[in-house]
Structure 1
Amino acid sequence: MVSFRQRSTSLGAVTTQQDVLPPAGRLPSDSARTVLFTLTGPDRPGVTTAVFGVLIRSGVEVLDVEQVVVRGHLTLSVLVTAGQDESGMILAVRMAGSDLGLSVSGEPGTGDNSKRRRNRLAVTLLGAPLLPSAVAGVTGRIAGHGANIDRIRRISRFPVTTIELDVSGGDGETLRRELAAEAMAHGADLAVSPAGLARRGRRVVVMDVDSTLIQDEVIELLAAHAGPEAEQRVAAVTERAMRGELDFAQSLHERVACLAGLPESVLGEVYAAVRLTRGARTLVRTMRRLGLTVGVVSGGFAEVVEPLARDLGITHVLANRLEIADGRLTGRVLGDVVDRAGKAAALRRFAELEGLPLSRTVAIGDGANDLDMLAAAGLGVAFNAKPVVREQADTSLSVPYLDAVLYLLGIPRSEIEDADEALDDTTRDDTTGDNTTGGTR
Structure 2
Amino acid sequence: MTDRATAPAPTDPTAVPPPSDGALLTVTGSDRPGVTAALFAALDELGPHPVEVLDVEQVVVHGQLVLGVVVGSPAGSPDGLLADRLRATVAEVAARTGVQVSVQPTAAGSARQERTARHHVIVLGRPVPPAAVAGAARAIAGVGGNIEAIRRLSDYPVTSFELTVSGAASTELRTALATVAAETGTDIAVEQVGLARRGKRLIVLDVDSTLVRGEVIDELAARAGRAAEVARITAAAMNGELDFEESLRARVAVLAGLPVGVLEEVRAHLVLTPGARTLIRTLQRLGFRCGIVSGGFSQITDPLAAELGLDFAAANTLEVADGRLTGGLVGEVVDRAGKARALARFAAEHGVPLDQTVAVGDGANDLDMLNAAGLGIAFNAKPFVRDQAHAALNQPYLDAVLQVLGFTRDEVLDAV
Q: How far apart, CA to CA, are the structure 2 residues paired with 1:240 and 1:141?
A: 35
- Counterpart for residue 44 of structure 2: 56
With the length of structure 2 as denominator, give the TM-score of the two structures.
0.88
- Counterpart for residue 73 of structure 1: 64
- Counterpart for residue 373 of structure 1: 369
Q: How far apart, CA to CA, are the structure 1 residues paired with 2:240 and 2:357?
A: 30
Q: What's the RMSD between the two structures over aligned residues? A: 2.3
1:92 counterpart (89, 92, 98)? 89
Give, as a single letter, the amino acid of the residue that structure 2 aligns with 1:66: E
Q: How far apart, CA to CA, are the structure 1 residues paired with 2:376 and 2:238?
A: 22
Structure 2 residue runs of 5 or longer lacking an equivalent are 1-11
How far the C-alpha of 1:202 sits from its partner, in A, is 4.0
How far the C-alpha of 1:126 sits from its partner, in A, is 1.3
With the length of structure 1 as denominator, give the TM-score of the two structures.
0.83
Q: Percent identity?
A: 54
Decide whether aligned partners of structure 1 residues 236 and 395 sit closer, same or farther in structure 2, where only a CA change above 3 A counts: closer
Structure 1 residue runs of 5 or longer lacking an equivalent are 1-21, 421-441
Decide whether aligned partners of structure 1 residues 271 and 81 sit closer, same or farther in structure 2, where only a CA change above 3 A counts: same
The answer (yes or no) to whether the contact 2:239–2:384 under 8 Å persists in 1 is no
How far the C-alpha of 1:381 sits from its partner, in A, is 1.0
- Counterpart for residue 334 of structure 1: 330
- Kindly provide the CA deviation profile for residues 141-186 of structure 1, in whole angstroms up to 9, marking residues without a partner as x: 2222222222221111112111112222221122222222322221
The answer (yes or no) to whether the contact 2:208–2:294 under 8 Å persists in 1 is yes
Aligned residue for 2:195, secondary structure, equals: helix
Q: How far apart, CA to CA, are the structure 1 residues paired with 2:13 and 2:100?
A: 36
1:162 counterpart (155, 160, 163)? 160
Give, as a single letter, the amino acid of the residue that structure 1 aligns with 2:320: I
- Counterpart for residue 251 of structure 2: 255
- Counterpart for residue 151 of structure 1: 149
- Kindly provide the CA deviation profile for residues 275-319 of structure 1, in whole angstroms up to 9, marking residues without a partner as x: 111111111122222222222111111011011112222222110
- Counterpart for residue 36 of structure 1: 24
Q: How far apart, CA to CA, are the structure 1 residues paired with 2:189 and 2:217?
A: 32
Aligned residue for 1:211, secondary structure, equals: coil
The answer (yes or no) to whether the contact 1:191–1:395 under 8 Å persists in 2 is yes
- Counterpart for residue 435 of structure 1: none
Q: How far apart, CA to CA, are the structure 1 residues paired with 2:222 and 2:319?
A: 19
Aligned residue for 1:130, secondary structure, equals: coil
Q: How far apart, CA to CA, are the structure 2 residues paired with 1:157 and 1:50?
A: 32
Residue 401 (str. 1) matches residue 397 (str. 2): yes
The answer (yes or no) to whether the contact 1:202–1:291 under 8 Å persists in 2 is no
- Counterpart for residue 198 of structure 2: 200
Aligned residue for 2:255, secondary structure, equals: coil
- Kindly provide the CA deviation profile for residues 295-349 of structure 1, in whole angstroms up to 9, marking residues without a partner as x: 2111111011011112222222110101112222222211232222211222222
The answer (yes or no) to whether the contact 1:209–1:297 under 8 Å persists in 2 is yes
Decide whether aligned partners of structure 1 residues 242 and 40 sit closer, same or farther in structure 2, where only a CA change above 3 A counts: closer
Q: How far apart, CA to CA, are the structure 1 residues paired with 2:331 and 2:299?
A: 14
How far the C-alpha of 1:194 sits from its partner, in A, is 1.8
Q: How far apart, CA to CA, are the structure 1 residues paired with 2:403 and 2:17?
A: 36
How far the C-alpha of 1:93 sits from its partner, in A, is 1.1
- Counterpart for residue 342 of structure 2: 346
Residues 60-69 or 246-255, more deviating:
246-255
Aligned length: 395
Decide whether aligned partners of structure 1 residues 42 and 381 sit closer, same or farther in structure 2, where only a CA change above 3 A counts: same
2:34 counterpart (38, 46, 52)? 46
Q: How far apart, CA to CA, are the structure 1 residues paired with 2:208 and 2:342?
A: 17
Residues 246-255 or 96-105, more deviating:
246-255
Aligned residue for 1:192, secondary structure, equals: strand
1:121-132 aligned at under 5 Å gives the runs 121-132=119-130
How far the C-alpha of 1:242 sits from its partner, in A, is 6.8
Q: How far apart, CA to CA, are the structure 2 residues paired with 1:273 and 1:368?
A: 25
1:356 counterpart (352, 367, 371)? 352
Aligned residue for 2:395, secondary structure, equals: coil
How far the C-alpha of 1:23 sits from its partner, in A, is 6.6
The answer (yes or no) to whether the contact 2:239–2:364 under 8 Å persists in 1 is no
Give, as a single letter, the amino acid of the residue that structure 2 aligns with 1:122: H
- Counterpart for residue 102 of structure 2: 105
- Counterpart for residue 3 of structure 2: none
- Counterpart for residue 271 of structure 2: 275
The answer (yes or no) to whether the contact 2:143–2:172 under 8 Å persists in 1 is no
